[in-house]
């Protein structure tokens, strides 16, 4: 999701838990979990062990890490071409939660809700709806207008399933953590094909971005967007403001455009973009914008997933459709989380020297 609100940061506030009443559900299911340490060692992450959401009910309540969560309309079709239901979507997120949660914790979440599946209408929502369970933490962020928005925070399995149950197919966290929303710990480039460009061109552009970052000794990681392109991320040490990170990304993208004008454009105005080029989108580094997170399911007919990939896979060639809700769990069990290094503070790049 690409949020384009042009608001200016003011005062940030820490994530806080609220205490609204919890609506009852007809059936309760207690699920066993075991706790594992996240890569940073700071957060316990609940690892679900062979758990399944009931198939024979329309609504249920699960007792999971973080507190009970009501799941509703489980039999509603979300992906018509595959026959996948809302239950299937929730089950996917439950299954991958041990790898996903460390990438979401302590970050405000922008909700893009598809209450009737991918073919239904959708809408964006920032403010956490009320009433909501006591277990759902919020992150209060003041915008330039003085308006304070309480975003939900996915801190544990309960809050993850609660957000998905609202109809959020993909997950869109802030780049900065809640304790300082103006100082991100990620820099990224969204590689998106312009009309006339191929996905092969996207892969070629990704390798150009990698080579350029490698040349200045900036470690970088790739993932499919699950939609049309590739995301290249850099984990950075907190310090530079979001505007400073954006400025670096813009200068970097413009330099790549100058060096490779036949394949790359950094032109943000849609009408001005040359056909057949790949956009190196730096503008998604602006304050208050978000991209689909790692392991997010995308609202596409094939239920594709935004998936970390190795640079060797990019070099060999891959397809967006290679990674879906049907096979990403198996991939994780086999090779683990390729983006786990991004969670380690020692792997973060100090961007100050480039500003």
169 shares a domain with 313: no
Asked if the structure places residue 332 within a domain, the reply is: yes
pLDDT given for residue 49 in this prediction: 58
Domain stops at, among 141, 173, 205: 173
Q: CA 295, CA 309: separation in Å to the nearest integer? A: 11
pLDDT given for residue 51 in this prediction: 85
312 shares a domain with 196: yes
Domain that holds residue 30: 12-173
What three-state secondary structure class fits 21?
coil
Under the banding of pLDDT at 50, 70 and 90, the label for residue 24 is very low
Under the banding of pLDDT at 50, 70 and 90, the label for residue 63 is very high
Q: CA 102, CA 297: separation in Å to the nearest integer? A: 17
- Per-residue pLDDT tens digits for 306-329: 999 999 999 999 999 999 999 999
Q: Is the pLDDT of residue 97 over 90?
A: yes
Residue 161: how many other CB atoms lie within 10 Å: 23
- Per-residue pLDDT tens digits for 163-177: 999 999 999 999 999
- Per-residue pLDDT tens digits for 255-284: 999 999 999 999 989 999 999 999 999 999
Residue 243: how many other CB atoms lie within 10 Å: 14
Handedness of CA 168, 169, 173, 178 (dihedral sign): positive
Query: What CATH number did the domain enclosing 191 receive?
Result: 3.90.920.10
Pairing outcome for strands 172-173 and 109-113: antiparallel
332 shares a domain with 308: yes
Average pLDDT, rounded, for the chain: 88
What three-state secondary structure class fits 191?
strand
Asked if the structure places residue 179 within a domain, the reply is: no
């Amino acid at each position: 999701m690409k949020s384009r609100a042009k608001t200016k940061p003011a005062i940030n506030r820490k994530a806080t838990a609220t205490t609204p009443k919890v609506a009852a559900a007809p059936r309760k299911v207690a699920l066993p979990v075991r706790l594992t340490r996240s890569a940073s060692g700071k957060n316990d992450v609940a690892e679900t062990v062979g758990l399944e959401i009931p198939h024979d009910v329309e609504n249920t309540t699960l007792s999971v890490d973080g507190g009970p969560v009501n799941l509703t309309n489980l039999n509603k079709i979300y992906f018509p071409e595959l026959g996948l239901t809302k239950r299937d979507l929730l089950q996917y997120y439950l299954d991958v939660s041990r790898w996903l949660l460390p990438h979401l914790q302590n970050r405000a979440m922008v909700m893009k809700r598809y209450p009737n599946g991918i073919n239904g209408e959708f809408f964006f929502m920032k403010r956490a709806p009320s009433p909501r369970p006591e277990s759902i933490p919020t992150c209060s962020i003041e915008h330039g207008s003085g308006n304070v928005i309480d975003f939900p925070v996915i801190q544990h399995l309960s809050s993850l399933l609660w957000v998905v149950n609202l109809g959020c197919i993909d997950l869109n966290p802030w780049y900065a953590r809640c304790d300082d929303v103006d100082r991100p710990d990620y820099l990224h480039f969204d590689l998106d094909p312009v009309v006339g460009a191929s996905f092969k061109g996207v892969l070629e552009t990704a390798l150009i971005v990698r080579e350029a970052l490698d040349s200045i000794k900036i470690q970088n990681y790739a993932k499919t967007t699950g939609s049309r392109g590739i995301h290249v991320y850099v984990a950075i040490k907190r310090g530079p403001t979001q505007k400073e990170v954006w400025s670096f990304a813009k200068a970097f993208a413009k330099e790549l455009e100058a060096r490779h004008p036949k394949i790359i454009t950094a032109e943000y105005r849609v009408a001005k973009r040359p056909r057949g080029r790949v956009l190196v989108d730096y503008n998604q580094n602006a304050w208050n914008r978000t991209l689909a997170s790692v392991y997010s399911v995308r609202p596409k007919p094939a239920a594709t997933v935004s998936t970390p990939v190795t640079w060797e896979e990019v070099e060999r060639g891959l397809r967006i459709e290679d990674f879906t809700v049907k096979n990403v769990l198996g991939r994780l069990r086999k090779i683990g989380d390729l983006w786990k290094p991004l969670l380690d503070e020692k792997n973060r790049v100090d961007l100050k020297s480039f500003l």
